[in-house]
A and B are shown apart, each in its own frame.
Chain A
């Protein structure tokens, strides 16, 4: 299913062929094609990108949370979208490999994988015409490092470890060998001119330059001298929406051409309607249930396995995600090219789950609390359905909904059982470093596993992809077997678009903002 859609919304001429297939109803899976075929007569489709046109994009955001700082905390999708079109990060998400060049055209590690040299793309200039220098990059990365979130955004790299190396290269020195440095630079390493004072209006280096900004909405026009190549669209108008419902209504009545990350409810409403393509970006959001391993009722490995066996994954995907997702196998990083597809999929086995709970001697007369929050759609619903399912294995779970600020302060990283979510699912190693390693700063389950740590160290300490593969496989095997995560499924990222919009991003997570290749059929 997802493969079909990948083909459908793939690059270049593939789009034309894919749409023809869909039009003939020969979608291999037999499922109703969610993409509405382009009406016959629009001959431009097969011809490839058409230059010109203004793409009107809706993105979620709250008026009270608007941020203009590229290195600030961006809660609003709309803010991040605007920033990511105006400013280039050093690298961007890719399909395979999962990191692609952007402002950095190439990178090279030292032998010990501690020092990384990034070359600035040739011909990269700011919107005012001045070339990008190593000093600009160093200043920007140090500015990012100095923000409260700097340590988590550039893990292992201190401000002093960010240095210019000649006019067009920058070296980053990590405190430990880290093969993932290029990957870590792909989200927020936006580059501004050295000593920029007014970051909100500062010229960027990206495919679009900011023409106007008002109340969270912006108009961006094409940067004709973008180093990354030709940009088809004349302009992008980003409109901020407070609610997904309002955004979907705007999409359905033709007020916008693209509703970015609009969610399952809107997609379900739009499915089958004329004049709307539903774009599914697989592996977008992980919503695992975290079982604390360090102490408490779930410290026993058998109890955790019992819970993993008690969950009905298909039902979760069907009901919580409205079917817009895929069953997962308790391993985070499903979008990684190195994801271990060969580990057998865990399925529901209530008898085995009951047996394990009995063996572990868990007190089944007690009620265990599962904490959740309504941060993202479906999260609280997943907890409720899970509680119903495990009751069939004899375990009483009560769902406790918390206010987001309480949840992140009191529950996250601490409670024995809670829901969480991650939107960066394109790297197994990313999760290992962030949430699974013994000394990971955000070790959500309090998990410490020496064998896992050893495999992780070997993986991040090896450059060669082939040599690294067995270590990555080993990490995933251990994670599948005994970590604190119950990852039942992966939610798709869902966008709605008018049929005239082509070459929209299909990558999960932050890949959704890469609109520089999109074009409009006339």
Chain B
């Protein structure tokens, strides 16, 4: 058990180190973009002296390395620094991240539920019309970028038929004003991921179905659904969990596009604006929290893999 924990700790430390390297890269990347936060947060008419003063005010005249180390050393205390407009980064993120987590969480749940049903259904009857239909559509759908899916959804479900609101409006609480505003953004995010995960589910179930113990179960005369749930699925879980973990990252990434199209009040829009403004602490803060979430998902998926693979001989 102790060995197991130590392995976990080493593994976690590795992942955290990876995140730190990623943050350093983000700092450097924003730095190498042309322009800086001082210029993008003053009036257009501001003189060179004004911009220089602003630069000093924001600490941009200091070396990149010292800014980065300052920011990193404050990070463990939960201090994400101050945005170029003088707000606490943690506050800006706190206002928007719950919305993105809600959007991404719902999309992930929908993705996995749909992928299991579709992939499972297809795996139950290999080479049936259902199997061929699912494989065909999932290939097409996973190749569709989010903005294409989003545009079609808006056109059909909002502008033509008026079934759902075209955009998300923010209520007085800072959350989407009504639940039905979540439907289109969740769908736009989930559809490409459903395509991708359905294929993983279908393939891993098919691989697993060829295993000797499954054949034995089938020969024992167990009903196909029972074989699928109790004998095939457990073995396929590691691959499915890995697929879900990858999707979690893709969903958070896709949020930038989808949130803009649907005017969804999430972190994706904040990130897009922060990059444009060269607001390094805000960009790094967004990367840190989303990175931490993705890290947690990866760890969870690794744990699932660990558990499910030790059980098997």
Could you tell me if B262 and A405 are in contact, using CB atoms closer than 8 angstroms? no
Please give, as numbers and ranges, the residues of chain A lying within 8 Å of B35 by CB-CB distance.
403-406, 408-409
Please give, as numbers and ranges, the residues of chain A lying within 8 Å of B220 by CB-CB distance.
none
Q: Does A149 contact B (CB under 8 A)?
A: yes
Q: Does B50 contact A (CB under 8 A)?
A: yes
Known: A215-B96, A217-B169, A242-B263. 8 other contacts (CB 8 A): A63-B265, A64-B277, A64-B279, A239-B170, A246-B166, A246-B261, A405-B34, A434-B45
Could you tell me if B154 and A249 are in contact, using CB atoms closer than 8 angstroms? yes
Could you tell me if A63 and B45 are in contact, using CB atoms closer than 8 angstroms? no
Could you tell me if A65 and B34 are in contact, using CB atoms closer than 8 angstroms? no
Name 26 interchain pairs, CB-CB below 8 A, sorted by A: A62-B273, A64-B274, A64-B277, A65-B85, A148-B53, A148-B54, A149-B46, A149-B50, A153-B43, A214-B170, A214-B174, A215-B95, A215-B265, A219-B172, A241-B263, A246-B260, A249-B158, A250-B166, A252-B159, A255-B169, A404-B276, A405-B34, A408-B39, A409-B35, A409-B39, A441-B47
Please give, as numbers and ranges, the residues of chain A lying within 8 Å of B43 by CB-CB distance.
73, 148-149, 152-153
**Bitwise interface map of A from 248 to 264 toward B, beta carbon under 8 Å scored 1, else 0:** 01101101100000000
Chain A interface SS verdict (over half): mixed
**Bitwise interface map of A from 138 to 164 toward B, beta carbon under 8 Å scored 1, else 0:** 000000000011011100000000000
Question: Known contacts being A249-B159, A405-B35, is A64 close to B282, with CB within 8 Å?
Answer: yes
- Please tell me the number of chain A residues within 8 Å of chain B, measured between CB atoms: 43
- Please tell me the number of chain B residues within 8 Å of chain A, measured between CB atoms: 52
Q: Does A96 contact B (CB under 8 A)?
A: no
Question: Known contacts being A219-B172, A245-B261, A405-B278, is A152 close to B166, with CB within 8 Å?
Answer: no
Question: Known contacts being A149-B43, A404-B35, is A249 close to B169, with CB within 8 Å?
Answer: no
Please give, as numbers and ranges, the residues of chain B lying within 8 Å of A403 by CB-CB distance.
33-35
Among A215, A243, A246, A402, chain B packs the most CB atoms within 10 A around the CB of A215
**In the bound complex, CA of A240 to CA of B265 (Å):** 9
Q: Give chain B nearest CB distance to A145 CB in angstroms.
A: 13
Q: Does B41 contact A (CB under 8 A)?
A: yes
**In the bound complex, CA of A434 to CA of B45 (Å):** 9
**In the bound complex, CA of A149 to CA of B46 (Å):** 6
Please give, as numbers and ranges, the residues of chain A lying within 8 Å of B95 by CB-CB distance.
215
Could you tell me if B263 and A250 are in contact, using CB atoms closer than 8 angstroms? yes
**Bitwise interface map of B from 152 to 170 toward A, beta carbon under 8 Å scored 1, else 0:** 0010001100100111011
Could you tell me if A214 and B172 are in contact, using CB atoms closer than 8 angstroms? yes
Could you tell me if B270 and A63 are in contact, using CB atoms closer than 8 angstroms? yes
Q: Does A212 contact B (CB under 8 A)?
A: yes
Could you tell me if B162 and A253 are in contact, using CB atoms closer than 8 angstroms? yes
Could you tell me if B159 and A246 are in contact, using CB atoms closer than 8 angstroms? no
Q: Does B259 contact A (CB under 8 A)?
A: yes
Q: Does A514 contact B (CB under 8 A)?
A: no
Q: Give chain B nearest CB distance to A204 CB in angstroms.
A: 20
> B45 is contacted by which of A149, A406, A409 (Cβ under 8 Å)?
A149
Q: Does B44 contact A (CB under 8 A)?
A: yes
Q: Does B69 contact A (CB under 8 A)?
A: no
Q: Does B146 contact A (CB under 8 A)?
A: no
Q: Give chain A nearest CB distance to B311 CB in angstroms.
A: 46
Q: Does A34 contact B (CB under 8 A)?
A: no
Q: Does A438 contact B (CB under 8 A)?
A: no
**In the bound complex, CA of A326 to CA of B165 (Å):** 36
- Residues of A bordering B, CB below 8 Å: 62-67, 73, 148-149, 151-153, 212, 214-217, 219, 239-243, 245-247, 249-250, 252-253, 255-256, 402-406, 408-409, 412, 434, 441-442
**In the bound complex, CA of A490 to CA of B106 (Å):** 47
Q: Give chain A nearest CB distance to B162 CB in angstroms.
A: 6
- Residues of B bordering A, CB below 8 Å: 33-36, 39-47, 50-51, 53-54, 83, 85, 92, 95-96, 154, 158-159, 162, 165-167, 169-174, 259-263, 265, 269-274, 276-279, 282
Could you tell me if B85 and A214 are in contact, using CB atoms closer than 8 angstroms? no
> B277 is contacted by which of A65, A241, A247 (Cβ under 8 Å)?
A65
Could you tell me if B42 and A246 are in contact, using CB atoms closer than 8 angstroms? no
Question: Known contacts being A148-B46, A246-B262, is A255 close to B36, with CB within 8 Å?
Answer: no
Q: Give chain A nearest CB distance to B83 CB in angstroms.
A: 8
Could you tell me if B165 and A212 are in contact, using CB atoms closer than 8 angstroms? no
Q: Give chain A nearest CB distance to B41 CB in angstroms.
A: 6
Please give, as numbers and ranges, the residues of chain B lying within 8 Å of A412 by CB-CB distance.
44
Among A149, A239, A242, chain B packs the most CB atoms within 10 A around the CB of A242
**In the bound complex, CA of A153 to CA of B43 (Å):** 10
Please give, as numbers and ranges, the residues of chain B lying within 8 Å of A243 by CB-CB distance.
260-261, 263
> A62 is contacted by which of B42, B47, B174, B269 (Cβ under 8 Å)?
B269
> B173 is contacted by which of A214, A247, A442 (Cβ under 8 Å)?
A214
Please give, as numbers and ranges, the residues of chain A lying within 8 Å of B265 by CB-CB distance.
63, 215-216
**In the bound complex, CA of A242 to CA of B158 (Å):** 18
Could you tell me if B273 and A149 are in contact, using CB atoms closer than 8 angstroms? no
**In the bound complex, CA of A67 to CA of B43 (Å):** 13
Can you name the residue of chain A whose Cβ is closest to the Cβ of B274?
A64
**In the bound complex, CA of A118 to CA of B119 (Å):** 75
Can you name the residue of chain B whose Cβ is closest to the Cβ of A188?
B43
Q: Give chain B nearest CB distance to A126 CB in angstroms.
A: 23
**In the bound complex, CA of A434 to CA of B92 (Å):** 36
Q: Give chain B nearest CB distance to A330 CB in angstroms.
A: 22
**In the bound complex, CA of A148 to CA of B96 (Å):** 29
Q: Give chain A nearest CB distance to B200 CB in angstroms.
A: 33
Among B45, B54, B265, chain A packs the most CB atoms within 10 A around the CB of B45
User: Which 4 residue pairs of A and B lie closest in terms of their CB atoms, listed nearest first?
Assistant: A405-B35, A64-B273, A149-B43, A249-B166
**In the bound complex, CA of A429 to CA of B12 (Å):** 65
